Structure formats: C-alpha cells, structure tokens
Homo-oligomer: A and B are copies of this chain.
Amino acid sequence: MAEQNMVQALNTALHEMFEGDARILLMGEDVGKNGGVFRVSEGLFDKFGGQRVIDTPLAESGIIGTAIGLAVGGMRPIAEVQFMGFLYPGLDQLFSHAGRLRARSVGQVSVPLLVRMPYGGGIRAPEQHADSAEAYLTHTPGLKVVVPSTPYDAKGLLYSAIEDPDPVIFLEPIRMYRLGRMEVPEGRFTVPIGQARVAKTGSDLTLICWGAMTHLAMTVAEDFQKRGIEIEVLDLRTLAPLDRQAIASSVAKTGRCVILHEAPRTGGLAGEITALIMEVAFWYLKAPVARVTGFDVPYPAYAWEDFYMPNPERLSRVITETLKD
C-alpha cells in the first residue's frame, strides 16, 4: 500500500476506473493533454486517448448538459468544472435537469452523472477561484453532494460516486490536494455516500466540519485535548443527504456543538445543520449551537484571505464560549 496525497489518490482511482469500465469518460476544460490544472487527470489522456479523456470547449453549461445526455445515453461521464466559482454558468443544468429528470420522467430516466470540481480557499488563488458554494447544491432536490477531507476518503467516495445511479457532485478541497499523505489501498473500495466519519471521539463538544476545515478542526481539537477537553470531530463527508443519525447521536452525547465552514455564514450549511439539531437533539443541548464560518462578503482578493478564512484563534474562541454555558 502506498502513501498518497489526495491528488494521487484521485488520480489512481481514475486510472483504475477507466481500466475497469469502458463506459467511463472524463470531460472538461484542460483535463486532457494538460492533465487538469491540478493534475488530477495526469496520464489519463496518454493511456486512454482523446475519446475518453475529452478536452471540451470552454462552456460549463455545455459540459454539464452534454454529460447529462451522455449519462442518459448509457455512458458514465465524469464532468470536471475547473473551479467551483465557474460552476455558476452551468448551475441551471444541475437545478433544472440533473436533479429533476428522474422525478419528471416518473423514474424512467436515470442520470448517473458525476461532476467533480476543486473548491474552497487557502492557497492564495486569484479572485473567484476560492468559492465554497456547497449550500447552493445541498438545497437542490435530486442531487447528492460529497466532500472528502482525506486521500482515503477521496478515493473511496469517488468509487461510490461513479457507481451511484444518481447525479453526484464531488467537491475536492483545493487546500487538501497536496496537504498530507496517507496509506490508500490499491484497487476498488468504497466509502458510502451519506455516512459521516468521527475523525476524533470526544464527549465535551461536537465539532462538525468538512473538506479543508477538517484539518483546522483536528488541529484545534488536539490543542483542547492537551488541556483535557475532549472534542468530538465529525467530518461529514457527505453534505447531501446529511448523516442525521451521526449528528444526532454525537450532539445528544456532548450536548454542545460548533459547526465550521468556509462558506459565507448566512445561508451556509451550518444553518441547516442547526435546524436539524433542533429537530433531533434540542433537549440535550447545554448551550446554543454556534458556528464559525467565512463572512458574508465575496471571497476576497488573497491579501485578505487570512482574515476571511476560519482560523484556530476564532474557532478556539467560539468553542471556549460554547463550553462556558
């Protein structure tokens, strides 16, 4: 078993999948010869050719819309959007079609579509290259949304996603692409869609996170650990459908909860999770559920990035307050 970072784990998974299923193809901007701007598709073009690793014209609605047609027509397309901030011109295809075709056809049409994209901040990218727009997707019926935070989960979730009969949006935290390596098994294995992961057990407070924020959550949780405070870190891994059970049982146990995300606060997924906790664990709460998030501003130019992104200091402060009550 090899130690891999997330890019390597994804790349290996793609190579294996392409070997195993001739219906699978990858399409997007610069995914072919260039291997993708983050090199996730490195080597695929040389090995499987331009019929299966397709450099498309520069048009997100065209990419996703064509992929929908390919999926309905019997292929297993993986559509890559170059950055999440450039998904917006293609959102209509997800909102109006990918998420609705099964329901509108009374179950007759399946759209086994996988849409991959890098998302989130933290690498001093140019403007509009660091959006964390998952809440637009998790509010959309008919879609599934997954976010790995480790190389292992990245590979396992990618296998689940490609095998899923419904459209899955696969968000890849840019900050985690090359941050940290771990052992990732060769060959097929799956991480089920819809199951959160307890990244660290604890009994004093539940810290809910996903993507690159899991890294921050673990750092801060270990810090509190040193001071004898046991924080349970719940890495959601799937944002739609949420793992209601995992959230309920952790918060019922700890009675305290902080939710952490990069996206702007208002309307971010923390709100939904808070409402869910209201429904399933209100009577266990010893303190209000709190959130640490990006701010309600457009993701700023990178000189302000450190101000925008949740950091250990902000997170620790809110955890400390939540522990007080």
Contacts and interface: CB of A to CB of B under 8 A. Distances in A.
Contacts of A104: 127, 298, 301
Interface stretch (A20-28, A35-43, A155-163, A269-277): A269-277
Contact of A139 (B88, B92, B136, B140): B136
Given A136-B139, A138-B267, A298-B142, A282 B274 contact: no
A135 interface: yes
A175 interface: no
Contacts of A279: 288, 290
Contact of A290 (B273, B278, B290): B278
B92 A297 contact: no
Contact of A288 (B142, B268, B282): B282
A184 to B, nearest CB: 31
A269 B135 CA distance: 11
Q: Which of A103, A271, A289 has the most CB of B within 10 A?
A: A271
Given A85-B96, A88-B95, A103 B267 contact: no
A141 interface: yes
Interface in A56-71: 61
A100 B298 contact: yes
B272 A267 contact: yes
A203 interface: no
Contacts of A263: 139
Interface residues of A, number: 52
A240 interface: yes
Contacts of A306: none
A266 interface: yes
A128 interface: yes
A291 B275 contact: yes
Nearest to A96: B88
Q: Which of A96, A263, A298 has the most CB of B within 10 A?
A: A298
A268 B138 CA distance: 10
A185 interface: no
A20 to B, nearest CB: 33
30 contacts: A61-B89, A88-B91, A88-B92, A95-B133, A103-B297, A103-B300, A104-B127, A104-B298, A104-B301, A135-B139, A136-B136, A138-B266, A139-B264, A139-B266, A139-B267, A140-B267, A141-B298, A142-B297, A240-B266, A266-B272, A267-B269, A271-B272, A271-B273, A274-B274, A278-B288, A278-B289, A279-B288, A279-B290, A282-B288, A283-B288
Interface of A: 61, 85, 88-89, 91-92, 95-96, 99-100, 103-104, 127-128, 133, 135-136, 138-142, 240, 242, 263-264, 266-276, 278-279, 282-283, 285, 287-291, 296-298, 300-301
